[in-house]
Structure 1
């Protein structure tokens, strides 16, 4: 256990160890030898350069055991990081409720449904670089948040299916989704077009979609949203690694509703051709094999590098569960 000012770094069961000896995620507790109870906001401010370095090396940091209880407390933690706010506005498909200046509910998809692996807003022209999650109410059973290093997925897929990766590199991906007019709370992708583009006016929605690199095809009050072709991978300059930066897995990960029930149509190659199912199945298995499944405890705060780490949500088997989120540029 290595002490760093107000933090104690602990090696636990919910971690993987890289060849370089770095743990994923890094897990930090309050330093038990501190002269007074440790506030997470104070600890972050006092150790910011070290935390930035740790996040750079690990990709994820779990803060556990700190007195963080409410959305307001969590907002203060995010503010203490010094990271600029990224507003979850037009373009996002997840249903969220804004609670404070910088805090939203996590995706309000029905809790018994799986949310597949993804980088936040990987389909968009702008995406957050950092993500914070906070456990306000820990899950009764199930509902784990799973995380996986994106460069590991890229390297393993490139090793096993180089022709598929080459096709993804050359063609990119197109994403298709049909949206209702308003919110569908029964759907994991239930944000309607009015909420997605933050307007009741179809012409304004089209203008905003165009700015976001999206095309709209109207079908009465419903609309087909076409995104792409978009790159399948990105190069992480900080890590000097290519990352698996796309929404392929979430489209195949049971994130469906009555209007979007065929994953083979939801995501296709940039030339419109369908993806090979065997390779996609291997990808989904690889995510399960390589991920770390985090068992939430009340008060946990998780910080992710959005370019380096994909995340998912397992179905909740026994309620309650309430996870909050914040996004940073």
Structure 2
């Protein structure tokens, strides 16, 4: 039987990259993501205690790299994952109110985006349009894909700096005007779309007036075309990571670009002043995101912990089966 005081070791995977991340300007490099595994077998009844006793190492790794993959723990079910979130990690709950096609499984656990497996979900920060989005996003692999389906990740500060150097005028205009996005939300969910959750599920209400109040609290506008909600979001393109002082690519531009052909005009994006975005430059940025990202294949029981303020994530297409669950923390 394993000792109750199981420690964690950092392991290396071929997909990791040694890059400048949250300390981009200092030249310091970190393996991305950090991968932590127990030094001994952990029995199910030791799971919570083991993670709790190693929280200092987990938090330090999250601070330095922005992403921590926990591998080799006896986390088998959605209930196990919920226990890890609530009892071991201790992050305050952030209830999900977004457009992604997902539903609650148990406690604080949701399905990951339920878009069809052939659809890619481009890079984004979760709920980045909010003034205070969740600071933590956690993913759990309950059933690993037959092939593909990686949750690719990318340092937001790194990609901001790379794009700023390559397309300075574009970044300057984004800095000046921000972004304006207009979306049409149907009343009911459409799981065939990655952003088809519907306004009733998104805002947890059947009442239009309640939905309007929630959008107004975000400083945005919700209008109606029959039962279809027309939401207009004006948001800055970048934010400053207050903990580290670095700028991050905190917008949904790449998400919009990746879905523009399949959304049937349901979502549109421009500069904040209403002028069109330069398609060729946005396409180049899309390619840069893919080139700079890291994608570690899922294994059953994996938990991926992301600092949502500094790390972007995406989903690659896959061959079923695949069941990834998610949770969000303040």
Q: Give me the whole-angstrom Cα distance separating, in 2, the residues matched to 1:109 and 1:192.
A: 13
Q: Which residue is equivalent to 1:107?
A: 113
Q: How does 1:180-199 map to 2 (within 5 A)?
A: 180-199=186-205
Contact between 1:56 and 1:238, CA under 8 Å: does it hold in 2? no
Q: Give me the whole-angstrom Cα distance separating, in 1, the residues matched to 2:33 and 2:289.
A: 16
Q: How does 1:72-151 map to 2 (within 5 A)?
A: 72-79=79-86, 80-89=88-97, 92-151=98-157
For structure 2, list consecutive stretches of 5 or more residues without a partner in the other structure.
20-26
The alignment partner of 1:208 has SS state of: helix
1:50 positional shift: 2.2
Q: Note closer, same or farther for the CA distance 1:10–1:81 as it changes in structure 2 (3 Å cut).
A: same
Contact between 1:113 and 1:254, CA under 8 Å: does it hold in 2? no
What is the number of residues matched between the two proteins?
317
Q: Which residue is equivalent to 2:264?
A: 261
Contact between 1:115 and 1:255, CA under 8 Å: does it hold in 2? no
The alignment partner of 2:106 has SS state of: coil
Contact between 2:71 and 2:303, CA under 8 Å: does it hold in 1? yes
Q: Give me the whole-angstrom Cα distance separating, in 1, the residues matched to 2:133 and 2:232.
A: 18
The alignment partner of 1:122 has SS state of: coil
Q: Give me the whole-angstrom Cα distance separating, in 2, the residues matched to 1:99 and 1:141.
A: 24
**Which of 224, 227, 247 in structure 2 is aligned with 1:242?**
247
1:186 positional shift: 1.5
Contact between 2:101 and 2:193, CA under 8 Å: does it hold in 1? no
Q: Deviations over 1:144-181 (max 9, x none)?
A: 11000000110001100111101111101111111111
Q: Which residue is equivalent to 2:60?
A: 53
- Residues 1:320 and 2:325 are matched in the alignment: no
Q: Give me the whole-angstrom Cα distance separating, in 2, the residues matched to 1:278 and 1:84.
A: 41
User: TM-score scaled to structure 1, two decimals?
Assistant: 0.92
- Residues 1:168 and 2:168 are matched in the alignment: no
Q: How does 1:288-303 map to 2 (within 5 A)?
A: 288-303=290-305
1:239 positional shift: 2.2
For structure 1, list consecutive stretches of 5 or more residues without a partner in the other structure.
none
**Which of 23, 28, 45 in structure 1 is aligned with 2:31?**
23
The alignment partner of 1:253 has SS state of: helix
1:223 positional shift: 2.0
Q: Deviations over 1:164-223 (max 9, x none)?
A: 101111101111111111111211111112112222222222122211222122111212
Contact between 1:11 and 1:27, CA under 8 Å: does it hold in 2? yes
More moved, 130-139 vs 103-112: 103-112
- Cα RMSD (Å): 1.8
1:255 positional shift: 6.3
Contact between 2:156 and 2:312, CA under 8 Å: does it hold in 1? yes
